[in-house]
Amino acid sequence: MTDFFAGIPTITYDPDATHDFAYRSYDPDEIVMGKTMAEHLRFAVAYWHSFAWEGGDPFGGQTFERPWFGDTMDHAKVKADTAFDMFKILGQPYFCFHDADVRPEGDTFAESTARLHEITDYFGEKMEQTGTKLLWGTANLFSNRRYMSGAATNPDPDVFAYGAATVKECIDVTHKLGGENYVLWGGREGYETLLNTDMKREREQAGRFLQMSVEYARKIGFKGGILIEPKPQEPTKHQYDYDVATVYGFLKDFGLENEVKVNIEQGHAILAGHSFEHELALASALGIFGSIDMNRNDYQSGWDTDQFPNSVPEVALAYYEVLKAGGFTTGGTNFDAKLRRQSLDAQDLILAHVGAMDVCARGLKAAAAMLEDGKLEAARDARYAGWGSARGQDLLNSNLEAINAQVKADNLNPQPASGRQEALENLVNRYL
């Protein structure tokens, strides 16, 4: 082990602990609805926030000092050593990364690629030693200035080509490491002004880029999930993968609705004007639910603050939709969350994950209790009971003229029924 986390013990489940370094709710072996908590939650650490982020924000630069910050492969290996130390301390089963998180940028594409393969070979050895697995890999097609106008949607074909070649390499290493998913996150696939934007062309480019990515992944035998992460606004005025509904329309346009699912982030749902559970429920209804990035946004700030989750009620409603959807298959709970820039110490990084994992465990148990009790679903079913009747089905198979005649013949005068929102909110609170 490195000495970055020196003195920090392995975190175990101990609900009666009098110190900070224990799980008080997350017992990986506890059975919930027929599976262990570990099997349900499938926790992953995000490499970019935990190890690559330097503590900056829109108004100030680096606040963190880490021994692995630097631009050599030696730094990259120290970062990997420290990361796997943390995975061992936490006992979570998965991690996720972008190519730029794990290797320094080279002077050429070939050098960057060689460095990526070198560090992922190093990962492979450590994964074999520790049993830690890769939930998903992805490519960073947004940080480098070459991508200031997007990657797939860039007006310059050479940038499109560079991005496509990068994705090919990232799919290769994800496949080599046994990654269970590959994620495409279009961080800059959007526009800032229509004055210089051809939206039709850019959507077509993005669609073909995604088609090529799927074609290649399947060609090499990658059987994992292929996911798009919806992202509204920030950093651009409009982004082509705004929310789940937008992504589904995009997938339908390009014949990919049976190949690609979504990785839904809580913070992105909020920026799109939705709730996390809305996006999860819609993805499930459309058959494209894949995985989640678990975090939270500051509701008083106007950007994606990527904080660790700390609200059991919000998390419970999210996992309720996950469980209703049948739970994760290849997906999981990735903590796309970062420390506050004033949280400088190694123990802060550990305790942020400990607290978040406990919140998720409590949320999962509340969600399972709600689902098993069945009262919420019974109330929902009762509200829509009329549509299960012969009359409800006949209406859907009828036409406007026939319906009009029937309303007149029956002198129909329907009266509204209460939606019982407050009673249902009270019901939910009993499980928390």
Q: Please give the DSSP secondary-structure letter assigned to residue 10.
A: P
Reply yes or no on whether 238 is catalytic: no
Closest C-alpha to 134, from 176, 163, 91: 176
| Cβ neighbourhood burial of 64 (10 Å; 0-12, 13-18, 19+) | middle
CA-based R_g, the chain, Å: 24
Q: Tell me the two tokens of residue 154.
A: 């860039």
Q: Tell me the two tokens of residue 111.
A: 């050098």
Residues with Cβ within 8 Å of residue 227, at least 6 apart in sequence = 136, 181, 182, 183, 184, 260, 261, 262, 263, 290, 291, 331
Query: CA-CA distance, 432 to 35, in Å (whole number)?
Result: 20
Task: Encode burial over 397-420: b for 16+ CB neighbours within 10 A, e otherwise.
Answer: eeeeeeeeeeeeeeeeeeeeeeee
Query: CA-CA distance, 237 to 283, in Å (whole number)?
Result: 24
| Cβ neighbourhood burial of 288 (10 Å; 0-12, 13-18, 19+) | buried
Q: Are 366 and 33 in contact (CB under 8 A)?
A: no
Strands (DSSP E) contained in 271-336 are 289-293, 333-335
| Given the residues 98, 175, 278, 353, the one annotated as active site | 98
Q: Are 308 and 269 in contact (CB under 8 A)?
A: no
Closest C-alpha to 115, from 177, 73, 155: 73
| Given the residues 101, 243, 304, 358, the one annotated as active site | 101
Strands (DSSP E) contained in 243-349 are 260-265, 289-293, 333-335
Reply yes or no on whether 98 is catalytic: yes
Whether the link from the prior residue into 235 is cis, omega within 30° of 0, is yes
Residues tagged active-site:
98, 101
